[in-house]
Chains A and B, each alone.
Chain A
Amino acid sequence: MGAVVVLAGEVRAEAVGKTIDETTLLLPTDVSADPGECVVLRGPNGSGKTTLLRIIGGLLVPSTGTATIGGREADERDRAVRAAVAALLGAPTTYRDLTLVDHLVLIDSTWGGDPATSDDRSLALLDQLGIAHLDDRFPHELSSGQEQLFRLALTFSRPASVVLLDEPEQRLDTAKRQVVAELIRERTTAGATVVMACHDPELTASLATRVVDVVPAR
């Protein structure tokens, strides 16, 4: 990958808004998160939480305001930003001919994980999410809840100083939501910054160091 600047997990979004033609997707909103923090974005459907996460992740250019990661403009084309941000925003495209554990080994290897322990790390992550027994399944053989856990595993299997999650609790039962909460807590304890949209009040109460209310445009 070449030399890449390691960015600290300081997330700053100042008055970022998004308007396409006459339609406002996101009113100007501020978000600030530091390493070790978990900031929860709260708001009704259509208020622009996903848009805000996409702007913070550098996938979308804001119409107003600025978004930065570790002091650099949030732009996915910047290798340093890509190296810093792990995001689960919608469904990632998976390889139809790789099993779950193969996917995690592939991601681990491309981020320079030690090959000798790659299998162990991958299986441990699947185990933590309660889907280790599905390690040799292909992605199309999973239920919708299992698929969500697998997507979370894909996101958490790569190193990142900033983790962006769009409703990580969706399609999960209460017990599995607690598992995900534990995983997020581990990441923040290790120094990562987590920004996530969430509709679960219990999860928000147990994880959020700060809550940002996203106001709908209309």
Chain B
Amino acid sequence: MSKRKRFAPDETPAVDRTDDDMQVVDYDDHDLLGQADWVIGGEAARKARQQGLYAGYVLFLGALVYGLPIVQTVFRTSDAGSLGQQLHSPVAVALLVVSVGALLGAVVFAGRFRGPVVPPMPWIDLVLIAPLDRALALRRWWRYAAVGGLFVGGLSGLTIGAGLAFAQVAGIVAIGVTTVAGAALGVLASRLWLWSQVRSWPGPDRGLSLLWRVPDALRELHSESLRAHSANTSTLTGSALTGNLRTARLALTRPVRHGRSARLRPGRPFGVLVRRDVIGLRRTPGAFLSGLGLALLGGAVVTWAFAQPAAPSIAATIGLLPLYLGFGAWSEGLRLQADNVGTPSLLGTGEVVEALAHLVVPTALTALVLTGWVAVTGLFGPVPVAAAVSLCLVLVLVVAGNVLAAFRGSPTFVLRPQMVVAWYAMPAVTVVLLGSVVAVLTKAASYTWLSVVSWLVYAVLLWAVSRVRRLTYLHRA
């Protein structure tokens, strides 16, 4: 490759011959990309990119106005000394490590179907097919993700550190430490995200060294892979905006391919439905493990919030969401039942019995996790009876929330993004809000009010059962 000639778009490409008699054409990549930018988006494209700066500004203001007070509330307690000791304990450190690991694992998982580099379809079809340096042609989308990761990570670290310092749980130095740690985590997360995207398509160079060889990682991205990721983005966005969660779910999950030699054992209707869920989890270990990770994390925080006087009540609010999501990861049978409404009946069981059968496995697993954490807590001191009873109430609430989520049906209102988000989040918000009230009342030993709230929890459960019936027959119109 000894002699090359550069050419601009308005010139005819010149062809040189190298010493080994191979033809070589040299392109001015920057020029060509600039032309493509201008043709596709004109001035509007440049302005649109500047919107990213505005989004960062809004995020910063949001962290300042909402993030900081929330973190302060989280760590505000009557016993800052005990809380500080507990936060430095091996269990708390282990939980932190597990949380960070789960976050990075989620990023790797997401990168399989939606990586950080997702240009628009016309760019993939019309520009990427040109013999340009792919690292240069895709650099822009990578930079959005990289800067976003750095900014969000740093901002999260700053918010948490400042919150800890203002609540007097840590010194002022913590602000700097958490900001740097958050930014580093953000960088690592965005690189893992890209690495996972590269690995979503077969190729010769897929090793971990791509984490620090970003241009090579970008060159490894196959156009078909980019098309698939772009299509997945459209599917997910469309499904989310229309409330079609089955399509979104199927886009996220890998087809099941193993464990086929295991057979579903016949038996009585209820038992065979329960065994169906067990065999389903055996064949989808990813769902089982992600459920386990989330339930362990959420269960630990919730148990700590209920059983430890030094723990702030709002910790329950934080722990309830992963606990709810962990239960959901184990509830595929329930969701598939809901997916099937509106089609002619294949199973001979009634809708409520079927739903109850599909609740057995996730409820048993979640109860096991909570019992385990109560036992662990018991090793360090007595667990109040009220806390144990309230945890049972939380379990009922998580069950009801997941039934509501599975049988939420389709939105029946005019589709606007914020309304779809509210519709989607309703079951989770119900669980988190009501569970938080239970935590506050349990810690305040306000048993009269707690009994009132427990009736509310059972009302949510009845509401969920009525949703099962209602959605099952709603289609007949």
Q: CB within 8 Å of B: which residues of A?
A: 1-2, 57-61, 75-77, 79, 82-83, 85-90, 92-93, 95-99, 101-102, 105-113, 115-116, 118-119, 136-138, 140-141, 154-155, 158, 164
> Are B349 and A60 neighbours in the complex by a CB distance under 8 Å?
no
Among candidates A1, A106, A164, residue contacting B264 with C-beta atoms closer than 8 Å: A106
Alpha-carbon gap, A164 to B343, bound state (A) = 13
Q: Does B255 contact A (CB under 8 A)?
A: yes
Q: Does B283 contact A (CB under 8 A)?
A: yes
* Minimum Cβ distance to chain B for residue A76 (Å): 6
Q: Does B47 contact A (CB under 8 A)?
A: no
> Are A61 and B477 neighbours in the complex by a CB distance under 8 Å?
yes
Complex A-B, nearest 6 residue pairs according to Cβ-Cβ distance, in ascending order: A118-B266, A87-B344, A111-B348, A109-B272, A97-B280, A115-B266
> Are A85 and B344 neighbours in the complex by a CB distance under 8 Å?
yes
* Minimum Cβ distance to chain A for residue B409 (Å): 14
Q: Does B260 contact A (CB under 8 A)?
A: yes
Q: Given A85-B344, A89-B343, A97-B256, 14 more contacts at CB 8 Å? A: A1-B349, A59-B342, A60-B477, A61-B477, A83-B348, A98-B264, A105-B266, A106-B264, A108-B266, A110-B272, A119-B263, A137-B260, A154-B346, A164-B344
Identify 24 residue pairs between A and B in the complex whose beta-carbon atoms are under 8 Å apart, listed by A's number: A1-B348, A1-B350, A2-B350, A57-B344, A58-B476, A59-B475, A59-B476, A76-B344, A83-B348, A93-B343, A95-B280, A96-B250, A97-B256, A101-B263, A102-B276, A105-B264, A107-B347, A109-B268, A109-B269, A110-B347, A111-B269, A115-B268, A116-B266, A119-B266
Alpha-carbon gap, A90 to B350, bound state (A) = 22
Closest to A159 in B: B348
Given contacts A86-B344, A138-B255, contact A110 B273 (CB under 8 A): yes
Q: Does B284 contact A (CB under 8 A)?
A: yes
> Could you say which interface size class chain B belongs to?
35 or more
Report the stretch among B108-116, B236-244, B332-340 that lies at the interface: B332-340
Instruction: Indicate the member of B284, B347, B349, B475 with the most A CB atoms within 10 Å.
Output: B347
> Are A90 and B343 neighbours in the complex by a CB distance under 8 Å?
yes
B272: which A residues are within 8 A, CB to CB?
105-106, 109-110
> Are B346 and A158 neighbours in the complex by a CB distance under 8 Å?
yes
B23: which A residues are within 8 A, CB to CB?
none
* Minimum Cβ distance to chain A for residue B182 (Å): 38
Given contacts A110-B272, A115-B266, contact A138 B256 (CB under 8 A): yes
Closest to B339 in A: A93
Among candidates B279, B345, B476, residue contacting A102 with C-beta atoms closer than 8 Å: B279
